[in-house]
Structure 1
Amino acid sequence: MKTTDLNIPELMKQFNEEGYLLLPGVLSQEKVDRLNAAIDEVIASEPETLAHNIYNSVERHPEIASLIDQPEILPLIVNLLGHNIQLHISHLTIRKPNPSEAQTASHSFIDWHQDGPHPQFPVIAGLTATYYIKTCYILSDMSEPDRGNTKVIPGSHKRPYNPNNKDVRQQVNGEVQVCGKPGDVFLFAQNLWHAGSPNRSEFTRRQLFLGYSPIWMRPIDYHTASASLLKDADPIRRQLLGQISDNHFKYYVPEDSMVPLKSLRITEA
């Protein structure tokens, strides 16, 4: 898929209505294979478990870090969230088959929730604003439900909503299991109600989440990007790693030269 293949205005309209998007065939099979090989290296040093949740995963392997400024996706993120943004989180999730629905400390499944801090983001008239967006790279065959798929409630980011039963193992009215093939990508707003369902299949789920937020927010993975991530970074990568100025006031009111992502805007704020 090329950036020019994306109808960004139409996708923005759909995202604003439903709170998520599923984009098929964003990554080539070769790229998927390289990412899975990188993930194999990462988890080789991790304890054996039914479910891996590895944060700051861009720090763990350069192949994963290559997704920070993925050219097929970045223009869409910029037009959805604005150009004064950064990488907020990089989170690798692996869920092995778990037909008995055993709960683990590493979250083999996750109940219904909105993302955000505790205490939560401000709620006004029952609504929370969109503060950040997550991009999920599907790296295993998630084309059928009950493989540990992410569940969403379309449109729940724009109306007062709170499921009566937050147990992901129980079906909620209006829920959708996001299904996709390796190389597909889905995006969702942090204020969309979502959950991580149990893996009742014979397939291992592999999904890699990269989230983006305004640069004036504290990222989850680190307060300052490491020297290894910043080494040889071009201006766009440096912005996404939160390095635009020594004057932190500029994080709120940056000069255009500090935020090269502005060049990817096709709509005005």
Structure 2
Amino acid sequence: MTPNALLLAHDKPAALRPDQLRQFQELGYLVLPGFLDRDLVARMRHEVDRWVDDGLRARSIDSVKDPEKFGVPPVMELELPAHGELITWSPLLEILDQLVGAPYAFHHLHSDRQAPDIPGKPWHHDYEHSTQTDRSATMIHALHYLDGLSTDTSSLVVLPGSHRERVDKTARAHLGTEPLPGEVVLEELPPGSTVVLHSALFHARRPRPGVLGKPRYFVDASYCEVGPLWPPVKPYWRYMLRRARELNLAPDRSELFTELTFAEYSRPA
């Protein structure tokens, strides 16, 4: 456990102290060990296996890479019951309410069972606005590690304070996953842990060469402050939000699945 880890208990309201809020503002991340409910984790894990083994994840990727050929995927993550529940899980939304401090919308969800030998992911951030010059609106990524992190999995590495920089997502990609001054390595977390990042925070997935390892169950959910028009990352984003409304995933939060906070989809170069 790192000295910057922030503990929250299941049986207590998900209320952050003022110093924790300041820490998120200054460092750009929170560590919530064992945050998720055990039953939810078990159901999520089962759904991730189905998502990968039945080819649904591959089909979802195809629909993003070539929407004209593949169209809307047959199943989206949020249509899986536990995944839909996780997006709007009240303890998580209570945390986001405090961190964003304004209405926010669901942006996207990714789910995977990463192979033990998966390559590292270079230093990057995930703040979606292409100009990268205006950070007045908050975007947050909640990284959920269903089995936690251990010496048998790749680690998550974050660069505290880097969310204040106004630079492109790939500004440090040429460095690969090499250690950087001031970085914090998150490599030991219990099952059901969540790491909440300001989306502009630089982070990387660092592999463990030579370690046989085990699969890494990983779910990444993103939320963006209502106000500016955010670029969607999925070409079928309108269908995705409509399905969330049809499934009544957030009956008391109409802003969570609104289309009004998104610009038109633009396919990445």
TM range (shorter): 0.7 to 0.9
Q: Does 1:134 align with 2:138?
A: no
User: Please, which runs of 5 or more residues in structure 1 have no aligned partner?
Assistant: 102-107, 253-269
- Relative to structure 1, the CA distance from residue 3 to residue 238 in structure 2 (aligned partners, 3 Å threshold; closer, same or farther) is farther
Conserved in 1, the CA contact under 8 Å of 2:14 and 2:95? no
Please say if 1:21 is aligned against 2:30.
yes
Among 162, 172, 177, the alignment partner of 2:185 is: 177
What does residue 264 of structure 1 align with? Answer: none
Name which of 114, 133, 144 aligns with 1:95: 114
Instruction: Give the number of the structure whose residues are more often helix, by fraction.
Output: 2
In structure 1, which of residues 148, 155, 178 is the aligned counterpart of residue 161 of structure 2? 155
Could you say what secondary structure the match of 1:67 adopts? Answer: helix
CA contact (8 A) 1:129 1:191 kept: no
**Change in CA separation of 1:72 and 1:8 when aligned onto 2, cut-off 3 Å:** farther
Q: Which moved more, 1:53-62 or 1:133-142?
A: 53-62
3-state DSSP of counterpart to 1:77: helix
- Which whole-Å CA distance do the structure 1 matches of 2:129 and 2:241 have between them? 26
Change (3 A) 1:26 1:159: same
Secondary structure of the 1:14 match is helix
1:120 Cα deviation after fit: 3.9
State how 1:50-69 maps to structure 2 within 5 Å.
58-69=77-88
- Asked if 1:40 corresponds to 2:49, the answer is yes
Residue 207, structure 1, aligned to residue 207, structure 2: no
Q: 1:231 aligns with which of 246, 253, 262?
A: 246
Q: CA deviation at 1:158?
A: 2.7
Quick check: 112-121 or 148-157, which moved more?
A: 112-121
Once residues 255 and 13 of structure 2 are traced to their aligned partners in structure 1, the CA distance between those partners, rounded to angstroms, is 23
Q: Is 1:81 aligned to residue 88 of structure 2?
A: no
Deviations 1:113-156 (A, max 9, x none): 12234844226xxxx55641001111123034x72222111122
**Distance in 2 separating the partners of 1:47 and 1:90:** 14
Tell me whether 1:11 sits opposite 2:20 in the alignment: yes
Runs of 4+ in 1 over 6 A off after TM superposition: 52-56
Aligned CA RMSD, in angstroms, stands at: 3.3
Q: Give the number of aligned pairs.
A: 230
Judge conservation of contact 1:224–1:242 (CA < 8 Å) in 2.
no
Distance 2:136 2:175 in 1: 21
- Contact residue 53 and residue 93 of structure 1 kept, 8 A: no
Residue 226 of structure 1 deviates from its aligned partner by: 4.8
CA contact (8 A) 1:28 1:183 kept: yes
How far apart, CA to CA, are the structure 2 residues paired with 1:141 and 1:24? 8
For 1:58 and 1:239, the matched residues in 2 are separated by: 20
Determine if contact 2:48/2:112 at 8 Å carries over to the other structure. Answer: no
Alignment deviations for residues 8-56 of structure 1 (CA, whole Å, 9 cap, x no partner): 433211101111000122123222111101111111222899xx99989
1:241 to 245, 257, 260: 257
Q: Which runs of 5+ in 2 are unaligned?
A: 1-9, 65-74, 263-269
- Identical-residue share of aligned pairs (%): 22
CA-to-aligned-CA distance 1:169-188 (integer Å, 9 cap, x gap): x2222222223221111100
Task: Decide whether the 8 Å contact of 2:160 with 2:182 is kept in 1.
Answer: yes
> Distance between the aligned counterparts of 1:109 and 1:204, measured in 2?
14
- Preserved contact between residue 132 and residue 166 of structure 2 (Cα < 8 Å): no
Question: Quick one: distance in 2 between partners of 1:184 and 1:205?
Answer: 12
Counterparts of 1:25 and 1:47, CA distance in 2: 28
| 8 Å CA contact retained: 1:111, 1:196 | yes
CA distance in 2, matches of 1:121, 1:150: 23
CA distance 1:110–1:73, change in 2 (3 Å):
same
